[in-house]
Structure 1
Amino acid sequence: MERNIENYLGYHINVVSHFIQNTYNQKLAEYDISMSQAKVLFFLADKGEQAQSVLQQRLYIKGSSMNGLIESLEKKELIQKRQSDEDRRTKLIQISEQGQELEKKLWVVIDHIEQELLTGFNQEEQQVIISWLKRMRENVQSCK
């Protein structure tokens, strides 16, 4: 059996993911924000106030990393954190007005990157890629 990393799908997904992540972070650095921080803002803008533990689960982030993201976003006044009235151990996170303004600007950047990323793919091909990646994510999650 020939062992060639170039023949493995996971390798190529990892390489593409690495380049995409670097591109996102490079473009978002102009706004003094990382892609990880932007994902928190996107989620909060879409879903409203959330428990920190829910953010952590939904964004697939470890607890220690989530704490760092929350702290940095709070220092930049892009989010607000408070204790839950029902359970004082639960921290509730909400996007601030400043965070909402930035989140709208970030979508323009993300849309531009996505357009570049998908150059040469028609709408149907784009949907197929997305559906395959979602299915692969489900396969990986079910293996845990």
Structure 2
Amino acid sequence: MRNTADSFNLEQNLGLLIHLANQFKDQLISNYFSPADITAAQFKVLISVYKGFTSPGEIRKNLMMDAGAMSRMIERMVKRDLIQRFTNPQDKRQVILALSEKGHEICRRFQHDAPTTIISQLTARLTDEESHLLAELLSKMLPENATQSPR
């Protein structure tokens, strides 16, 4: 049986390791998209729209961003022609986001090339068996619907 101090250290270390792995993944994404001048955060917005999230509120909740940061990012991405913003025909106070052709191309490129490149860099020090185990454990940690699109 683990004592409380060991349990606290494990939880603290596990939290730190998950955080560091996430930062490393974001660094790899940013490096991959640096020629297109797209950050990991911008890419996450793009891929969210690509997966069917169409309102800034949905994306903000999905990415756990604050409303101000989301609003500023969307504004920059519209100016760079990565996404398009339309008035919601059912509620003129709301907007609907869609990918521009440039945004679609970035997402298509990612779907085709990047997962292999980024995941192979992320898991370079793991064996195939360890990579499969990691995927199993991470999937087990997540809520049932965490990997599903909103529609």
Would you call these one fold, judging by a TM-score over 0.5?
yes
In the alignment, is residue 65 of structure 1 matched against residue 69 of structure 2? Answer: yes
Unmatched segments (≥5 aa) in structure 1: 139-144
SS in 1 for 2:29: helix
Residues 87 and 33 (structure 1), Cα distance of their counterparts in 2 relative to 1, 3 Å cut: same
Overall identity of the aligned pairs, in %: 23
Q: 2:27 — aligned with what?
A: 22
Return the alpha-carbon distance in structure 2 between the equivalents of residues 72 and 131 of structure 1.
37
Return the alpha-carbon distance in structure 2 between the equivalents of residues 55 and 69 of structure 1.
11
Q: 1:55 — aligned with what?
A: 59
Q: 1:79 — aligned with what?
A: 83
SS in 1 for 2:18: helix
Return the alpha-carbon distance in structure 2 between the equivalents of residues 37 and 13 of structure 1.
21
- The superposition leaves residues 33-86 of structure 1 with CA deviations (integer Å, 9 ceiling, x where unpaired) of 011111221122232x61221121222222112112211110110111011111
Q: CA RMSD in A?
A: 2.7
Opposite residue 22 of structure 1, the aligned amino acid is Q
Q: 2:15 — aligned with what?
A: 10
Structure 1 residue 4: Cα displacement: 6.3
Q: TM-score with structure 2 length normalisation?
A: 0.74
Unmatched segments (≥5 aa) in structure 2: 144-151
Q: Following superposition, which runs of at least 4 residues in structure 1 exceed 6 angstroms of deviation? A: 2-5
Q: TM-score with structure 1 length normalisation?
A: 0.77
Cα pair 2:29 2:118 within 8 Å, conserved: yes
Cα pair 1:52 1:93 within 8 Å, conserved: yes
Return the alpha-carbon distance in structure 1 between the equivalents of residues 84 and 65 of structure 2.
19
- After superposition, where does 1:1-144 map in structure 2 within 5 Å? 1=5, 8-47=13-52, 50-107=54-111, 108-119=113-124, 120-122=126-128, 125-138=130-143
Return the alpha-carbon distance in structure 1 between the equivalents of residues 19 and 43 of structure 2.
21
Residues 72 and 57 (structure 1), Cα distance of their counterparts in 2 relative to 1, 3 Å cut: same
Between 79-88 and 53-62, report the one with greater CA deviation: 53-62
- The superposition leaves residues 79-136 of structure 1 with CA deviations (integer Å, 9 ceiling, x where unpaired) of 11011111122111000112111222234234301122223332x5434323433444
Opposite residue 65 of structure 1, the aligned amino acid is A
Cα pair 2:50 2:107 within 8 Å, conserved: yes
Return the alpha-carbon distance in structure 1 between the equivalents of residues 51 and 27 of structure 2.
24
Structure 1 residue 32: Cα displacement: 0.6
